[in-house]
């Protein structure tokens, strides 16, 4: 499974060539200033990279990269 931070960076790199460092504490809204289209790109990238279907409500409740990582781990059956 690809690192979620890497997946997020790849999803956003075309629209934002100068991204800050992405860590588990990185906020999609505050640090990355993601809009709806950005979040759709992130959802698709993480789903593809991690081979997991992200439930819409669960994904929308993730405000940080760490929360998204924990969600993916739960869905994959890994310890969070």
- The predicted model scores a pTM of 0.90
Mean pLDDT calculated for residue range 52-72: 97
pLDDT for 79 beyond 80: no
pLDDT of res. 53: 95
18 secondary structure, DSSP code: S
- pLDDT at position 1, please? 58
Q: Are 13 and 45 in contact (CB under 8 A)?
A: no
Average pLDDT over residues 20-45: 96
pLDDT mean over 7-22: 91
Residue 73: CB partners within 8 Å, gap ≥ 6? 79, 80
| Mean pLDDT of all residues in 20-40 | 96
């Amino acid at each position: 499974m690809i690192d979620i931070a890497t997946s997020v960076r790849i999803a956003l790199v075309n629209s934002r060539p100068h991204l800050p460092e992405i860590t588990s504490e990185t906020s999609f809204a505050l640090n990355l200033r993601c809009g709806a289209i950005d979040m759709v790109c992130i959802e698709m990238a993480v789903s593809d990279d991690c081979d997991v279907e992200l439930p819409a409500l669960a994904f929308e409740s993730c405000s940080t990269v760490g929360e998204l990582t924990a969600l993916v781990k739960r869905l994959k059956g890994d310890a969070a």
